[in-house]
Chain A
Amino acid sequence: MATNVIMPQMGESVAEGTVTKWLKKIGERVERDEPLFEISTDKVDAEIPSPAAGVLAQILVKESETVAVNTVVAVINGEGAAVVPPQAKAETVSSPSVPPPAPPAAAAAPPVAAGSVAPPTPPGEVRSSPLVRRIAEEYGVDLAQVHGTGLGGRVSKKDILDYVEQQSGAGQGAAAASQPSAQAAPPIQAPGPTPAPVAPQMVFTGPTQVVPMTPMRQKIAEHMVTSKRTSAHVYTVYEIEMTRVVEMRERHKNEFERRNALKLSYTPFFVRAAVEAIKQVPIINSSVDGTNIIYKRDVNVGIAVALESGLIVPVIKRADEKNFLGIARAVHDLAERARTKRLSVDDVQGGTFTITNPGSFGGLFGLPIINQPQVAILGVGAIEKRPVVRDDAIAIRSMVYLSLSYDHRVVDGAVAEQFLTKVKKNLESWDEPVL
């Protein structure tokens, strides 16, 4: 049986997706649920598992082509399958420079003529049963000519016995012509060429290379510009002493990993410190809707994760209800799934506050852009030992810069300072057990 592979709908509001990579070649075998191709949508990048086991017979949507959800993108031939061309409506909805998919040549089942000498379909390609195949062999019946009434068009014992009886009764080969299943489906009409939109002519001197943005890149670009246009960004930076947290992490990291099979990173410390501060300064966890301020009861903390090809922000849901270990586990799980492209749409939705970590690449601090429709984003710089003044002496301490970008439409400077002061206090006088 041939199985059509469709572009899945990755979330309610997602209307289209781009095939970014085929993981199997035509003619290659694929198991059910084995990753078949990678897609990129507005929301997530994901690996799509094969809906059936069999051989990848056709690829109808090429890499980097964008099609509407539910478009047939490939055909898998299972065992005992007849090749049926899918009723594909594979119209490309973007990338007009990419040629539309060619009609799958030679995909149509050969038309069966009455009493013709058309080569019989190998019995393996029609769904039947051991018994039916045996009967077909005994009577010399081409199973492709038998109308199957069983599950999924399977040719049952009754079907083939009826057929044999009909054949012997109606004379040689006369009945075969009327078998509706033998009709070849019409070939797919290739959509005509679409005129390319007129793009502004850019002037460069010197050699260039033009690389189309990935869908993720396009979305990031769009979101960033929208955010800058939407929110009145203001920034504040705090220097925070991390000695206590660093010591705590050093002291407990081995035991923590042994107990939880989880590396003890700094991220959960920052998440916990921020969540506790948000509980006291709830405006940080709000959004703007026209002239209303919407306070969110759940604190869902997005964690920016850098990927090779871009950036994604999976969300720790109800971070306010999780203890340290719960946060640590959620951070690890989301980051891991982000990197292996196994995030679901739900994983990247519903954030109420975001933490980003330019420090992991060495940045002293960053001034991040707010992740809409949120009103604040915390940037975590690199933790470094620095000379600082303590009791009029120069001391060596582990220090970090935390930056807060906030939306001045609803968060005033004093409130932002209040928030960061609490974060600072939570980190400098850390008292939550990590084990």
Chain B
Amino acid sequence: MPTLTYLDAIRQGIWEEMERDPSVFLLGEDIGAFGGAFKVTAGMLEKFGEDRVIDTPISESAIVGAAVGAALMGMRPVVEMQFMDFIACGFDQIVNMAAKIHYRWGPAVPIVIRGPSGAGVHGGPFHSQSNEMWFVHTPGLKVVMPATAYDAKGLIKAAIRDENPVIFYEHKFLYRRIKEEIPSEDYVVPLGKAAVRREGRDITVITYGAMVWTALEAAQELEKEGISLEVVDLRSLLPYDEELVLASVRKCSKVILLHEDTRTGGMAGELAALIAEKAFDDLDGPLLRVTAPDTPVPFSPPLEEYFLPTAQKVIGAARKLAAY
């Protein structure tokens, strides 16, 4: 099995889907000749030609609008946001068009909007956001964020094949840091299914994206203290895997909700509500959130480090919860 980075896994997934299905095509800023800002689409123009790898003007609204139109005409566009921060410029086309067309008229809108998100690379407030919750709060969309290379490939393929608009968050910090052996044969990772990354007994940490690795680091450290963490990787945020989340909560009875996104209105709050509603009688402690604070992502490296949840912060919360 070849070893691929997280980034190459996404690239390979898109590549394979384009080979498999001629209706799949790409739209985005500098994705053709330049190969994309992070080189996710490198070599695709040469391979698939300019009809299927389209460099667009710098207008996210126009890009998404064109993709929605193409999807209605039977195509499967894959849109790249150069940074997921810029998705705000295409917001109306996503939340009012793509997300609601099927509900209003019936036709499917099988588009994928993908791009790099997240902090940890000193990108500052316009190039580091975790804005997934804007779309998790929009019925009609699906929202995905892989943490591993295997999942990145399997999820992008599943997203392209899905009949719904999918917002596909790639964590830029993981692009070249994560490497994994990837099966050569075709596979998908189903949308809406979480994965247990590490089995544990005392506390379940529910997280996604780059924070999966943070949780695993904390788990390794805490093992020495006899505190056993279970790490759940959501993979899909909308719809999320209620069944697996609740099963893990019922097993460990104590819960840490971890994400890189800011605190208020984050996924942790949503999961806390779910757990309180459906697993209240299984709880043996308060639901603790470990998240970024409610501020923009700072540019200054020490401030960014302070802003981001770290293994140490998870360890602190876990110790508190273990002693509760």
Decide if A and B are genuine partners.
yes
Contact, CB under 8 Å: A130 / B282: yes
Contact, CB under 8 Å: A131 / B323: no
CA of A289 to CA of B179, assembled, Å: 80
Contact, CB under 8 Å: A130 / B324: no
- Stretch of A151-159, A191-199, A238-246, A353-361 with 4 or more beta carbons under 8 angstroms from chain B: A151-159
Contact, CB under 8 Å: A130 / B323: no
CA of A130 to CA of B275, assembled, Å: 12
Contact, CB under 8 Å: A131 / B324: no
Closest A residue to B286 by CB, please name it. Answer: A129
Give the residues in chain A near B323, CB-CB below 8 Å: 150-151
CA of A172 to CA of B282, assembled, Å: 27
CA of A129 to CA of B323, assembled, Å: 14
CA of A132 to CA of B282, assembled, Å: 8
Closest B residue to A137 by CB, please name it. Answer: B281
Contact, CB under 8 Å: A157 / B281: no
Give the residues in chain A near B324, CB-CB below 8 Å: 150-151, 154, 156
Contact, CB under 8 Å: A134 / B284: no
| B253 within 8 Å of A (CB atoms) | yes
Q: Mark A144-178, 1 if CB is under 8 A from B, else 0.
A: 00000011001011000000000000000000000
CA of A361 to CA of B281, assembled, Å: 66
CA of A157 to CA of B324, assembled, Å: 10
| B126 within 8 Å of A (CB atoms) | no
CA of A130 to CA of B284, assembled, Å: 7
Closest B residue to A157 by CB, please name it. Answer: B284
Main secondary structure of the interface of B (DSSP, over half): loop
CA of A156 to CA of B253, assembled, Å: 10
Closest A residue to B276 by CB, please name it. Answer: A130
Give the residues in chain B near A130, CB-CB below 8 Å: 280-284
Give the residues in chain B near A134, CB-CB below 8 Å: 281-282
Chain B contacts with A in 280-296, Cβ cutoff 8 A:
280-285
Give the residues in chain A near B281, CB-CB below 8 Å: 130-131, 134
CA of A131 to CA of B281, assembled, Å: 5
Closest A residue to B254 by CB, please name it. Answer: A157
Give the residues in chain B near A131, CB-CB below 8 Å: 253, 281-284
CB distance from B283 to the nearest CB of A (A): 5
Give the residues in chain B near A132, CB-CB below 8 Å: 284
Chain A contacts with B in 406-424, Cβ cutoff 8 A:
none
Closest B residue to A152 by CB, please name it. Answer: B324
Total A residues in contact with B, Cβ cutoff 8 Å: 10
Give the residues in chain A near B285, CB-CB below 8 Å: 129, 156
CA of A157 to CA of B321, assembled, Å: 12
CA of A150 to CA of B285, assembled, Å: 10
CA of A150 to CA of B253, assembled, Å: 14
Give the residues in chain B near A129, CB-CB below 8 Å: 253, 283-285
Q: Mark B255-280, 1 if CB is under 8 A from A, else 0.
A: 00000000000000000000000001
Give the residues in chain A near B283, CB-CB below 8 Å: 129-131
CB distance from B17 to the nearest CB of A (A): 45
CB distance from A105 to the nearest CB of B (A): 35
Give the residues in chain A near B282, CB-CB below 8 Å: 130-131, 134
CA of A157 to CA of B285, assembled, Å: 9
CA of A150 to CA of B321, assembled, Å: 10
CA of A150 to CA of B320, assembled, Å: 10
CA of A210 to CA of B284, assembled, Å: 59
Give the residues in chain A near B280, CB-CB below 8 Å: 130
CB distance from B203 to the nearest CB of A (A): 11
CA of A156 to CA of B203, assembled, Å: 13
Closest B residue to A154 by CB, please name it. Answer: B324
CA of A255 to CA of B280, assembled, Å: 58
CB distance from A235 to the nearest CB of B (A): 63
CB distance from A383 to the nearest CB of B (A): 55
CA of A131 to CA of B282, assembled, Å: 4
CA of A132 to CA of B280, assembled, Å: 11
CA of A126 to CA of B293, assembled, Å: 35
Closest B residue to A129 by CB, please name it. Answer: B284
CB distance from B26 to the nearest CB of A (A): 50
Chain A contacts with B in 57-99, Cβ cutoff 8 A:
none
CA of A132 to CA of B284, assembled, Å: 7
Give the residues in chain B near A157, CB-CB below 8 Å: 253, 284
CB distance from B259 to the nearest CB of A (A): 24
Q: Mark A105-129, 1 if CB is under 8 A from B, else 0.
A: 0000000000000000000000001
CB distance from A158 to the nearest CB of B (A): 8
CA of A154 to CA of B324, assembled, Å: 7
CA of A89 to CA of B26, assembled, Å: 80
Give the residues in chain A near B284, CB-CB below 8 Å: 129-132, 156-157
CA of A428 to CA of B225, assembled, Å: 78
CB distance from A137 to the nearest CB of B (A): 10
CA of A130 to CA of B285, assembled, Å: 9
Give the residues in chain A near B253, CB-CB below 8 Å: 129, 131, 157
Give the residues in chain B near A151, CB-CB below 8 Å: 323-324
Give the residues in chain B near A150, CB-CB below 8 Å: 323-324
Give the residues in chain B near A156, CB-CB below 8 Å: 284-285, 324
CA of A156 to CA of B285, assembled, Å: 8
CA of A134 to CA of B282, assembled, Å: 8
Closest B residue to A149 by CB, please name it. Answer: B323
CA of A154 to CA of B283, assembled, Å: 14
CB distance from B171 to the nearest CB of A (A): 34
Closest A residue to B280 by CB, please name it. Answer: A130
Closest B residue to A160 by CB, please name it. Answer: B284
Q: Mark B281-319, 1 if CB is under 8 A from A, else 0.
A: 111110000000000000000000000000000000000
Scoring A131, A132, A134 by chain B CB atoms within 10 A of each residue's CB, the highest score goes to A131
Closest A residue to B320 by CB, please name it. Answer: A151
CA of A22 to CA of B281, assembled, Å: 39
Scoring A130, A134, A151 by chain B CB atoms within 10 A of each residue's CB, the highest score goes to A130
CB distance from B246 to the nearest CB of A (A): 13
CA of A151 to CA of B282, assembled, Å: 18
CB distance from B121 to the nearest CB of A (A): 39
Chain B contacts with A in 19-60, Cβ cutoff 8 A:
none
CA of A342 to CA of B65, assembled, Å: 63
CA of A166 to CA of B324, assembled, Å: 22
CB<8 Å pairs between A and B, sample of 21? A129-B283, A129-B285, A130-B280, A130-B281, A130-B284, A131-B253, A131-B282, A131-B283, A131-B284, A132-B284, A134-B281, A134-B282, A150-B323, A150-B324, A151-B323, A151-B324, A154-B324, A156-B284, A156-B285, A157-B253, A157-B284
Starting from the known contacts A130-B281, A130-B284, 9 additional A-B residue pairs (CB-CB under 8 Å) come to A129-B285, A131-B281, A131-B282, A134-B281, A150-B324, A151-B323, A151-B324, A156-B284, A156-B285
| Shortest 6 CB-CB contacts between residues of A and residues of B | A157-B284, A131-B284, A129-B284, A134-B281, A130-B281, A151-B324
